[in-house]
């Protein structure tokens, strides 16, 4: 991934990052703030955003602004033009590849922040800039690690959501996430908010694995802040341009939920079992098609089993092990998964025979016990042999 980090009008070489004196002073000051603003084609909003920030940030609040930019339009040029006249330092991190979407952009900004506080907000002015000092002030006053701007507190509103459809989707997503993560989201009324402040020590960027734009959910679930506070806010109309939300982001959000919910081994095992049960549908459908086409039932059983294997593999890749797919080539993963799935059939029959002949079990309980046994073994083998990183032999310091 090629990235450029630059301070407008401060550098002759955009490949090198040397913060100006104002930025260094802002980072060292007590109560200092880095305002991280991810951008994707927001050139029509930048000037107004920076103007409102300049009017809203008090002189006593040491603040630096970092844009993490994935744009293909003139957004960086607009920032460069406006930056010299601002009372706070501005930097731009331009990413050639938008890895992780908006959430990935925030993580890249967090990696570079050195201030006491980090505030995350959008560039489209739906998050009112005048609330930035209020978020930080609430954190200082209450001792909270995370302060969320919430649309669902008294005094807050989601008025800027365009249309009943987006309102319903937002409310449904809020209910879903709070239902899936009741402990991690305790005290957060608006887990879908993209406007929040956090203490820098709260988060280790390497612990975050965002997918899409719901970075607050990722932060709350993976980092578990000890104390959370909230500030009401009115979600504004977008100042310029169109929303980036759509069906694709919705699918990424659902995949992100699945990844977060399956972060523990027990949760992954449960998910593995549910996906395995769902695989009976394509398996039986393929068996019906083949037998009705005149194929003998034995080869039809073997072929139909592969339909279930493909179904299970696709869902497991998307929902359970998305973050581990990079460890092996996709063809390697497919081959290993198919081998394990078919070996399950070969192991199950001898196990049933063993339970019946050696231990005197009835066929049905023997079959059920064999299914459970091979399921646990297959889950452990799939995780260990398909999705865990390859182990590399380390060399000793003496060269042996």
* Residues 331-363: tens digit of each pLDDT: 889 888 888 888 877 787 788 788 888 888 887
Assigned CATH topology for domain 3-261: Spore Coat Polysaccharide Biosynthesis Protein SpsA; Chain A (3.90.550)
Where are the domains positioned within the chain? 3-261, 265-387
**Structure pTM?**
0.67
Residue 147 confidence (pLDDT): 97
> What's the CA gap between 83 and 89, in Å, rounded?
7
**Per-residue confidence at 248, pLDDT binned at 50, 70, 90?**
low
> What's the CA gap between 374 and 351, in Å, rounded?
9
**Per-residue confidence at 15, pLDDT binned at 50, 70, 90?**
very low
Residue 288 confidence (pLDDT): 86
> Residue 259 — φ and ψ, nearest 5°?
-65, -40
* Rounded mean pLDDT, 361-381: 80
Give the torsion through C-alpha atoms of 140, 142, 143, 145, to 10 deg.
-90
Element holding 44 (H helix, E strand): helix 43-56
Which of 55-59, 275-279, 321-325, 343-347 is modeled with the greatest confidence?
Answer: 55-59
Q: Which whole-number Å values give the CA distances from 103 to 3, 110, 193, 210, 218, in the listed order?
A: 16, 11, 12, 5, 9
Which of 70-79, 200-209, 234-243, 360-369 is modeled with the greatest confidence?
Answer: 70-79
**Per-residue confidence at 149, pLDDT binned at 50, 70, 90?**
very high
* Rounded mean pLDDT, 103-130: 91
> What's the CA gap between 341 and 305, in Å, rounded?
9
* Rounded mean pLDDT, 281-302: 82
CB contact burial 122-131 (16+ within 10 A = b; e otherwise): bbbbbbbbeb
Tens-digit pLDDT profile for residues 45-64: 999 999 999 999 998 889 99
The residue among 158 and 57 whose pLDDT is bigger is 57
Residue 35 confidence (pLDDT): 96
Residue 276 confidence (pLDDT): 82
pLDDT at 69 exceeding the cut of 90: yes
Residue 38 confidence (pLDDT): 93
Three-state DSSP class for residue 148: strand
């Amino acid at each position: 991934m090629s990235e450029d980090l630059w301070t407008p009008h401060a550098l002759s070489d955009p490949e090198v990052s040397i913060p100006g004196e104002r930025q260094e002073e802002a980072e060292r000051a007590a109560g200092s703030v880095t305002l991280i603003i991810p951008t994707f084609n927001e050139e029509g909003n930048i000037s107004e955003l920076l103007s409102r920030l300049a009017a809203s940030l008090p002189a006593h609040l040491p603040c630096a602004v970092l844009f993490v930019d994935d744009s293909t339009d003139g957004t960086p040029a607009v920032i460069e033009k406006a930056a010299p006249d601002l009372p706070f330092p501005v930097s731009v991190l331009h990413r050639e590849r938008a890895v992780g979407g908006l959430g990935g952009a925030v993580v890249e900004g967090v990696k570079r922040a050195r201030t006491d506080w980090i505030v995350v907000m959008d560039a489209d002015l739906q998050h009112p800039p005048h609330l930035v000092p209020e978020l930080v002030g609430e954190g200082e006053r209450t001792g909270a690690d995370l302060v969320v701007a919430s649309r669902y507190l008294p005094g807050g509103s989601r008025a800027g959501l365009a249309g009943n459809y987006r309102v319903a989707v937002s409310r449904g997503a809020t209910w879903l996430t709070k239902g899936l993560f009741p402990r991690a989201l305790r005290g957060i009324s608006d887990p879908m908010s993209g406007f929040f402040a956090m203490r820098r020590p709260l988060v280790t960027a390497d612990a975050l694995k965002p997918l899409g734009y719901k970075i607050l959910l990722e932060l709350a679930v993976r980092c578990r802040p000890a104390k959370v506070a909230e500030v009401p806010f009115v979600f504004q109309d977008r100042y310029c341009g169109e929303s980036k939300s759509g069906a694709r982001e919705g699918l990424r959000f659902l995949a992100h939920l699945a990844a977060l919910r399956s972060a523990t081994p027990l949760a992954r095992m449960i998910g593995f079992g549910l996906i395995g049960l769902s695989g009976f549908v394509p398996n039986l459908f393929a068996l019906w098609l083949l037998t009705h086409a005149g194929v003998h039932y034995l080869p039809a059983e073997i072929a139909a089993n592969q339909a279930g294997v493909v179904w299970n593999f696709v869902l497991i890749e998307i929902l359970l092990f998305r973050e581990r797919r990079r460890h092996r080539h996709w063809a390697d993963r497919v081959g290993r998964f198919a081998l394990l799935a078919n070996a399950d059939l070969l192991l199950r029959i001898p196990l049933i025979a063993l339970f019946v002949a050696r231990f005197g079990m009835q066929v049905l309980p023997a079959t059920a016990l064999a299914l459970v046994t091979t399921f646990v073994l297959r889950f452990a083998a799939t995780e260990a042999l398909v999705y865990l990183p390859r182990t590399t032999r380390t060399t000793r310091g003496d060269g042996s």
